[in-house]
Chains A and B, each alone.
Chain A
Amino acid sequence: MCGIVGLLVKTPALRERLGELMVPMLIGMTERGPDSAGLAVFGKAVDASQRKLSLYAGFTEEGDRFAWTPLLDALNAAMDVTARIDAKGNHAVLTLQGNAENVKSWLREHCPKLYLLSTGRSIDLYKDIGTPAQVADRYGFANLKGSHLVGHTRMATESAVTPDRAHPFTAGEDFCLVHNGSLSNPYGVRRKLEPQGIHFDTDNDTEAACRFLEWRLREGDALPEALQKGFEELDGFYTFLMGTTTELALIRDPFACKPAVVAENDDYVAIASEFRSLAHLPDIKNAKVFEPAPEEMYVWKA
């Protein structure tokens, strides 16, 4: 199964309430995805010379007692990146000046069990095993602010229940994807991408879709072109919800095997697998509620 939620707010005041509005949406999808949860939130971009890395320490021996400050001090001593860190248990957002790739190499070398969740100027990413309510509480999702977000609750079918196989998946910078469904050709897609130097972190089918679409974007496709190639290359059942710095995008497979419903008004666009996750949004009674059609692209600008 799995549940998908997405929220894009259209007024500056609601940006302050993004997390608070989203938490009931995520918890509403618990029955569809009780084993893991995660979300990517897009906020104000850092300066073009800076990058943010979302890091997960759950695989290290220290786990949620991971010593982030000594790591930060060692990084700043080794490299001239004036890094700062915002940590919460096993999770941290590292903001740095300069080349993110050099920092990632340094982290791989000095703390190989630290897991990179996302890279970008505006994306912060959180995901872990546990019920949606537990994960939301663990990272204080209710306090998140930003213009839009992509969330997911997982009921694993295609790969193990582990934090790295939870959604959202990311590739490149400021791109993430969540998936409800199962792909039938993820290894075929993977065999096309790996010879081009594209590295995979897990054996999860969704990661293949995420890396395929990000590869198309990086090769110069606009989002609609990349999604069109996705329709042609990706076989199986899917509702995909994707986030970029400026957009939320949704597609469903031609058989519409996996559900989605959208509610839109002057204040927000909200997407969920089922209406029960939208029912408590403000003024939902007057929102335009519709079911997105199969094999159509829906793109909302932040």
Chain B
Amino acid sequence: MESVTFDLERGSVREVNQYLHGDAAALKGQQITVTSPNGAHNIAVGVDADVTITIDGHAGYYAGGMNKHASIVIKGSAGTGVAENMMSGKVHVKGFASNGAGASAHGGLLVIDGDAGLRCGISLKGGDIVVGGSVGSFSAFMAQAGRMVICGDAGDALGDSLYEAVLYVKGDVKSLGADAQFEAMSDADFTAVASLLDAAGLKHDPRAFKRIASARTLYHWNADADQEY
């Protein structure tokens, strides 16, 4: 298997991304390593090839954004918007992730071993997110489809204005957002949590998780609500 290394002390993010945007058939199966990322923005954004990318340190904003097919590992932390709008593939953050992790992801799996900041999974559109630690406030805001597994705690307003995404939380939820509600776990939920934890490489008992989904009271305009929800 071909392996290529880019050192960001010497080269630019543009060189890395131009290489990754090359012919997908030629890139297929390659192992690409980015050393000294040093918090640079936009590393491995818009990849559309079946490659394995290792970012050997802390990444800046939008790492792995719009990812399609690639498997990306960030050995340090990730800045704002990691794997935002991911379509498929996998992004694995070994450290913590800042705000807006996995925002509007349509597919694929985002794994964050540490904590995630605020607005994790905001407007999620079908992707899966597994967070080993806790998530900040307003996570899964307006999440439309997909699943989130949170092994730690959640901040305020979890799942505010949820559509059809489903959230599973092991720890404490500081507060639920408007229209989000706890629901009973079914066998299908236990199976889903078990398979997501397995895919993320995290060991937790699926039976310890609680399910949160939309009560669907906001789906239709209620003229009598008088702005009180």
Which positions in A face B, CB cutoff 8 Å?
A: 254-256, 259, 261, 274-280, 289-291, 293-294
User: For the complex, would chain A's binding face be called helix, strand, loop or mixed by DSSP majority?
Assistant: loop
Query: Quick check: A279 and B38 within 8 Å, CB to CB?
Result: yes
What chain B residues lie within 8 Å of A280 (beta carbons)? 38
User: How distant is the Cα of A254 from the Cα of B96 in the complex, in angstroms?
Assistant: 19
A256-B99, A289-B95 in contact; A275/B117 too (CB < 8 A)? no
A274 interface neighbour in B57, B60, B95, B115, Cβ under 8 Å: B60
Which positions in B face A, CB cutoff 8 Å?
A: 36, 38-40, 57-58, 60-61, 76-77, 79-80, 95-96, 98-99, 115, 117-118, 136-138
A276 interface neighbour in B40, B77, B136, Cβ under 8 Å: B40
User: How distant is the Cα of A289 from the Cα of B39 in the complex, in angstroms?
Assistant: 12
User: For the complex, would chain B's binding face be called helix, strand, loop or mixed by DSSP majority?
Assistant: loop
What chain B residues lie within 8 Å of A256 (beta carbons)? 99, 117-118, 136
Minimum distance in angstroms from A259 CB to a CB of chain B: 7
Query: Quick check: A290 and B58 within 8 Å, CB to CB?
Result: no
What chain A residues lie within 8 Å of B39 (beta carbons)? 274-279
Can you list 11 A-B pairs, Cβ within 8 angstroms, ordered by A? Answer: A255-B118, A259-B99, A274-B39, A274-B60, A275-B38, A275-B39, A276-B38, A279-B38, A279-B57, A291-B98, A291-B115
Query: Quick check: A294 and B40 within 8 Å, CB to CB?
Result: no
A294-B118, A294-B136, A294-B137 in contact; A275/B77 too (CB < 8 A)? yes
Minimum distance in angstroms from A265 CB to a CB of chain B: 15
User: How distant is the Cα of A289 from the Cα of B38 in the complex, in angstroms?
Assistant: 13
What chain B residues lie within 8 Å of A289 (beta carbons)? 58, 76-77, 95
Those 6 A-B pairs whose CB atoms lie nearest each other, nearest first = A275-B39, A276-B39, A279-B38, A275-B58, A256-B118, A279-B39
